[in-house]
Amino acid sequence: MKQSIREEEILKIIKERKMISRLELAEIFDLTPARISKIIKSLLDKQIILEKNIGVSTGGRPPVILTINEKIFGDVLGLNLAPKNIFLSVGQVNGEIRKRKKYSLEKIQDEDILNFIEKLIANTLSAEKKIGVITVIITGFVNKEKGISIMSPHYKWRNLNIVKHLEEKFNIPVLLEHDVRAMALTEQQIGECRGVKDFVIFNISEGIGTCACIDGNVYRGFNSMAGEMGHIVINTSSIRKCSCGKRGCLEAESSNTAIIKRITSDIKIGKYSMLKDILSKKGSLEMDDILLGVKKRDFLAIQVTNEAIEYIAQGLNILVSIIDPEKIVLVGEIFTSKYLMDTLRFELNKFSLEFQKCIIEPTKLGDELFYYSPIAVVTKNIFENKEFTKKYITKMGGSYDFN
């Protein structure tokens, strides 16, 4: 019989199950009713959990259900720093989001982005009085434990300790997470991967990144740099140079940047495309323009995106062969096109083995993926990151002193 169970372990299960009885907890941890009741009393006295009389009776009194007391946690201010936009959200740890706003970075210079972020935070804290934590989601290489943005290609940051910087400036706990890993936590909590132990998020935007969850846990790798799928060389005969310096990387062949660059270049050397007029008017193309061309059966748009899809299919086949996931969730504008998704499924069928069973489908969350992911990161860290949990609870006037 286990008698050394810590309160944090009990809380993790209550958080995971959302609602659970004392009897169920006793069975999970192999504890006597007296022992589990003593631990639960301690947590109730600290107001970390609550009792609710909503259990289903099997004869006699209905069981009392235990749940996390969400009132001890302040609201979450989320900043999802995408390449061209900042998605700001304010919500609660139960997943309710009451504020969503997207800010364009089109007119913000690289050197002014941090100041812009600070202004967004200051204005939000002034308007929202119950915020207990800030979560920053960013692309590039991230050291989550140290709170450092090691390298962000879109923000030109190098070894920026953004957690320390913001905590000192605003006196509030701050969490940092990599964008695709935050997507994985979001899909795991409210998306297509609830209850799925082994899955992969495959994200295409200006770059390409992945995150594998193995046995329910995000895989980070030895250097916390796992998932750089975009830098696998997929086309050894390619002349296209990647930002990493190599040629033929998946990112150089199939990212939004690569597709737009190639179509723009082809139009400028005289290849016909209906997108020429859009390019002339706007001066540049966006992925929305490319997908419009695909929808209207523009030959150049279809030719380039079809080739990109072929390489994406090869990359996905590599993931399936190495990780053997139950599901792969696709994130990115390119996957919103029915024509291109049909093309992808056709290409995948050419590579997959008959006995490989893996569901591959686009996310159903849309922009909600970007607004919710900061909350998903906070929810994951509660009771699992002891230092953070203490700062979070005490920030809102609570007490954190577990046995």
Answer yes or no: do 264 and 343 share one domain. Answer: yes
Answer yes or no: do 244 and 372 share one domain. Answer: no
Q: How far are the Cα atoms of 8, 208, 243, 392 from residue 250, in angstroms, in the given order?
A: 42, 8, 11, 40
**Per-chain mean pLDDT for the chain:** 90
Report yes or no on 217 lying in a domain: yes
Per-residue pLDDT at 167: 96
Q: How many CB atoms lie within 10 A of CB 134?
A: 25
Q: Which structural domain range is residue 241 located in?
A: 194-362
Answer yes or no: do 107 and 225 share one domain. Answer: no
Per-residue pLDDT at 114: 94
Answer yes or no: do 210 and 319 share one domain. Answer: yes
Residues in the chain, pLDDT under 50:
1-3
pLDDT digits (tens, 9 = 90+) for 177-196: 999 999 999 999 999 999 99
Report yes or no on 1 lying in a domain: no
Query: What's the predicted TM-score (pTM) here?
Result: 0.89
Region of residue 75 (left: phi > 0; alpha: psi -120 to 50; beta: else): beta
Answer yes or no: do 289 and 343 share one domain. Answer: yes
Report yes or no on 323 lying in a domain: yes
Exposed (0-12), middle (13-18) or buried (19+): which is 91, by Cβ within 10 Å?
buried
Report yes or no on 150 lying in a domain: yes
Pick from 73, 106, 109, 69: nearest CA to 91? 73
Helices 299-323 & 338-351 angle (0-180, nearest 10): 40
Distance CA 316, CA 312 (A): 6
Answer yes or no: do 120 and 174 share one domain. Answer: yes
Residue 59 belongs to a domain with what CATH number?
Answer: 1.10.10.10
Answer yes or no: do 336 and 203 share one domain. Answer: yes
Amino acid at 314: Q
Residue 290 belongs to a domain with what CATH number?
Answer: 3.30.420.40
| Domain count along the chain | 3
Answer yes or no: do 15 and 162 share one domain. Answer: no
Distance CA 70, CA 54 (A): 17
Chosen domain end from 68, 84, 108 = 68
Answer yes or no: do 253 and 390 share one domain. Answer: no
pLDDT digits (tens, 9 = 90+) for 254-268: 999 999 999 999 999
pLDDT digits (tens, 9 = 90+) for 127-179: 998 999 999 999 988 999 999 998 887 788 889 999 999 999 999 999 999 99
